[in-house]
Structures are given as C-alpha cells and as structure tokens.
Amino acid sequence: MRWAVFDTNVYVDFWERGSYAQALAAVHSAFVVRHSAVVLSELRRGARTQQARRTVEGLYRLATEIWEPTADDWWEAGKLVREIGDQQTWDVHKRREFQNDALLALSVRRRGGLLVTANRSDFQLLERRVGLRAQYL
C-alpha cells in the first residue's frame, strides 16, 4: 500500500485559495492519505476563526490513522535542527520552526510514506539527509 501525508501549507493553501486542487486529486487517487499529528497540531494552532476551527476539527475527526513522531524521531530531529541550523546559520526562531518540519519528515519516512508539501526549501534539506520521499507543489 502507498501512503501520502500532506504538509500544513498544502491544507492552508487549498482551504484559503483553492490551490493545488488537481495535484491533490491525483495524490488521493494514487495513495492512501494519512494524517500527521504534527500537521494537525499546526493547523489547530493557526485556526483563528470559528470556520477555520470547524474545518480543522472536522479533519481531525475524519483522520482514521494519525502518524506521530516517536521518541527516536524527537532525538534525531534535535540533531538535524542543530546541524542544519548551524550550516544555514539560522537564528533560534527559524530552528524552532524547522523542528516541526524535521519531526514530520522523520515520521513520514519511518512509515515509508510520501510527503506532499509546498515548502521546497526546508524539505529539500531534509530529503537529502534522511531519505525522505517528497512531492513538491
């Protein structure tokens, strides 16, 4: 079975602007879409209106399987954030933001899934280091 997970930016861009409709339909027809605890948390954190909260809560209720980072994923993410952050000379804010990207990448890779994202710059750094399979929109 082939699995895919959508990154937070994919949901937001689709809900707010209708972006990627054809690409998302193609992913849905070729993969079983799973949900990430990291992505669901980011979506909930950013749901500032009542309609946005209802949309995110509906997605959570529909999620039949939620992939979450393990303790080993957290441990590895700390190393990745430190090493890549040092290499890219990121400040502490960018490193905090990148932590979730690393956790998402590691949990998707561990399950052999495909990550679908519009965040090429961050995930290409992770793709090379951890063997992540990603589709960029």
pLDDT of residue 5: 98
* pTM as predicted: 0.95
Q: How far is CA 14 from the centre of its chain?
A: 14
pLDDT of residue 110: 97
Contact between 130 and 105 under an 8 Å Cβ cutoff? The reply is yes
Residue numbers in the chain where pLDDT is lower than 50 = none
pLDDT of residue 1: 86
Contact between 59 and 43 under an 8 Å Cβ cutoff? The reply is yes
**Domains recognised in the chain with CATH numbers:** 3-33+67-136 (3.40.50)
Residue 135's φ and ψ, nearest 5 degrees, are -115, 125
Q: Whose CA is closest to 81, among 97, 104, 61?
A: 97
